[in-house]
A and B are shown apart, each in its own frame.
Chain A
């Protein structure tokens, strides 16, 4: 049972490049989330999804887009990467919104 898997684990981009981060969960969870964590700080919610085909904005959504075409996958896109988006990105999932969230091990993204 893999739980929540994030790919890639590391990536370096140049300013202006685009990329997509993939999150996959095998627990049949309805809810999925994307967070970012900057050095020495707690996690901040970027976007979340309450089910296949739905997405909603979190605390810091600007500069990011998401899609949930399949229940098990939640994609986070950066259309034009900026140095301020250098961070560690965590994906999480939960069976319901009120249930504990299960996290992946993160994607470390550096934008030069």
Chain B
């Protein structure tokens, strides 16, 4: 499975956009990019995922570069409740190998007033 590289920590001002980068230079053609976040002491929460097109939902936007070697998660108007560890995960689209989510260290996002 492709590995991901994320910054260890980031700060963001409340109300501003938070842009969280992820490098996945060894991603394969059938692998999706998933984003989860974990707020302190809670279980991980699914945010968004994509294959090659940009995606948007009520929580965030996912921008994937044309060569698919990197992506950016965008929280358009960060709030204090968005303070969490954000995990970028690459996983196959199907088969048993797709069952496993491989969590790395993630990015600790601190949203400040």
**Which residues of A are in contact with B by a Cβ distance under 8 Å?**
4, 31, 33, 35, 41-45, 48, 50, 56, 58-59, 90, 92, 97-98, 100-106
Contact = CB atoms under 8 A, between A and B. Distances in A.
B96 A56 contact: yes
Given A33-B99, A97-B96, A42 B42 contact: no
A97 B92 CA distance: 10
Contact of B99 (A42, A43, A48): A48
A68 B42 CA distance: 24
B94 A106 contact: no
Instruction: For chain B, give the interface size range.
Output: 20 to 34
Nearest to B34: A100
Contact of B94 (A42, A97, A102): A97
A103 B99 contact: no
B87 to A, nearest CB: 7
Given A104-B43, A105-B43, A59 B93 contact: no
Contacts of B41: 105-106
A103 to B, nearest CB: 3
Contact of A105 (B42, B96, B98): B42
Contact of B43 (A31, A45, A97, A106): A106
A54 B109 CA distance: 38
A98 B101 contact: no
A13 B82 CA distance: 34
Contacts of A50: 96, 99
26 contacts: A4-B43, A42-B87, A42-B104, A42-B105, A42-B106, A43-B101, A43-B103, A45-B101, A48-B99, A50-B96, A50-B99, A56-B96, A58-B100, A90-B43, A90-B44, A97-B94, A100-B34, A100-B49, A101-B44, A101-B101, A102-B46, A103-B44, A103-B45, A105-B42, A106-B42, A106-B43
